[in-house]
Structure 1
Amino acid sequence: MLTTTVKSSQVLALLAGIVAIGDCCVAEDTKTQSLLTQSDPLVQQRIGDLIDALKAERSLEAVRRAEALRRAVEDDDDLVRQVAVFVATTDYWSEPAIGCVVVYRILDRLEVQPKAVIRTFAEYLDSENELLRGFVRDWFRGFGPPGDPLDDEYKDYLIDNLCRGQEVPSEFIELLFEESPGRALLVFNRVAHSGNAMDQLVELRRRHNQEIAARRERGEDVPLLPAVDDLPCPRMPRLSFDEIRAIRLAERLVSHTIWLKENRFEGRHLEAAAVDARGQLAMLSEHEAWWARRYAVEIMRRHRDLRLPESLSKLRQDSDLLVREAAMAATD
């Protein structure tokens, strides 16, 4: 590990790859070190110029500098990496809240696609560089694009990783469940639904090729489609449509119970809802889908009145590491 301490006046001279964090010390992990070697001094300078214009609320100058930055870096992934370098190597974060908002405005101003931000930032959720780790976590926790949640982008990111045979960072999965267990559950459900759709396409492809083969035997010149075995994403999770619906219903019933509690409803309505919720949590804690069990753990961890001691005890011995560790952290 490398630890470096630098005064703020030295920062601009170190933008090519040395970590500078005011008076704070930071240990760099291998991934962050690799990121820093990709630093482009010209791009770093233009990012700083744009931030200064945004912070000073000089709108026309910000537009001009944003255009110059975009000309320098056209690829979204490259641009997000350079922003990550900037975050990790400057002392701009003496005012963290302002810093996060302004750098998010860069990504928004340059119309960077959310999927590019997710792809890059997810890799640094466990960075030992405190500034970089803190910033990307803040982005996922609320400094991301405004409006609707990033459910579609999250789903596409997960599917893309699985289709490429790449591991999804466990820190990304844990952050999803920590921020919104219900949303995390439904995002993974949608991934499984996409896996079902792929299976249906495989079956359609197989039937189509069988029909084409029959026509070719009759002398027709019809090309075959690519072999079914060549289709990607064997690691995609699959659940039946009925199972997906059952999980969605369970989440809705549990969420309804939590809503009643948070809005101080009492009496028979809450009692009946709580009974239903515990029944759904018992079902989810036994489900074959690991994300259903992880959801059950998270809900029981947060809501003691919905805990099922026997189910939680079993989950502490779960075959999935993330489920097991979360269950072990749910202390009495």
Structure 2
Amino acid sequence: MVLLYVLAAVVLINCGYYILFSKFSFLKPPTVSTYKTYPVSIIICAKNEAENLAKNIPSILAQAYPNFEVILINDSSSDNTLDVMEDFANEDNRVKIVNVENNEAFWGNKKYALTLGIKKAVNKRMLFTDADCKPASPNWLAEMTKNLDQTKQLVLGYGAYVKEKGFLNALIRFETLMTALQYFSYAKAGTPYMGVGRNLAYTSKLYYDNNGFISHIQLPSGDDDLFVNEVATSANTVLCFSEESFTISKPKTTFKAWLLQKRRHVTTAKLYKPKHKFLLSTYYVANLLFWLLTPVCLLLSNWKIVLAVVLVRLLCQYIVVGKAAQNLKERNLIPFLPFLELFLVCFQLSIFIFNSSAKPTRWK
């Protein structure tokens, strides 16, 4: 019976988080027919991304927006990234180039390269994305920056992945969905904790008032989540999740490549604010315990009671996560939510084990 009580407590915690997540799940993107079009600087940092730049920059330049510049940062690439950038700059005077060479103090540090790009920007409103990201629509720029003003200085967007066949693709998109569900929900609850550099906007005032990335400049990653964790507040942060505001990227195609990517990403979590570390770790531990305790309780306790408890939890998951999946255009994941969550919990545990022994030190 003790294990059954523990399982019930875990499910109660799970459902508490689903109540929190419902703050985003049941939101509807605001529809704004007209908005002011202030000058914007789009900033893209690229390292050995010649092919992706050639594919995606035309969609950036084709944005239905009257006044913007594109800052392309070549972060010490060894391929022909700089040549591709120069071709775009020669064809379109809105394109500006920052060529970053290896620096002994900041070698392999994306934040150093981004800092130089931000200094190059002439506009107060800045929109960030990656070289492998393509805007979902010609209105991406307008959607992501329409709420930037003196009060709202930070916009959290959604970076989706291309839908392809295969379990890995579904798992990557599910992980992306769950990450977005969390950072959107926490922001809506008044305690924003992260954003993604694939789709993020903020003002130069916010950047300079908080000394940029200086507090975590030594880390290879965190130009997005650590910066947001440090500067975001309930007053200065706004969400943007209309379908036209998405960026879309090609996901990793092997588990090894994805593991390396996620290992690098999670190294920054230890520097989050204590309340965020507590809430995020509690959520993960509760999920892990649910999947560990459920089969044991089914075997050792009254299976009917156990099944009822489990079904309550799964029902909450389908309602809240399923609605979020609709919001973020990932409906085809809904039938497989528990299955994907189980594999994601196992995957995240493996990342924790790997990172306990060795941590990635470079962003690429």
| TM-score interval (norm. to shorter) | under 0.3
TM-score by length of 1: 0.27
Q: Higher helix fraction: Structure 1 or Structure 2?
A: 1
Structure showing greater radius of gyration is: 1
Q: Higher strand fraction: Structure 1 or Structure 2?
A: 2
TM-score by length of 2: 0.25
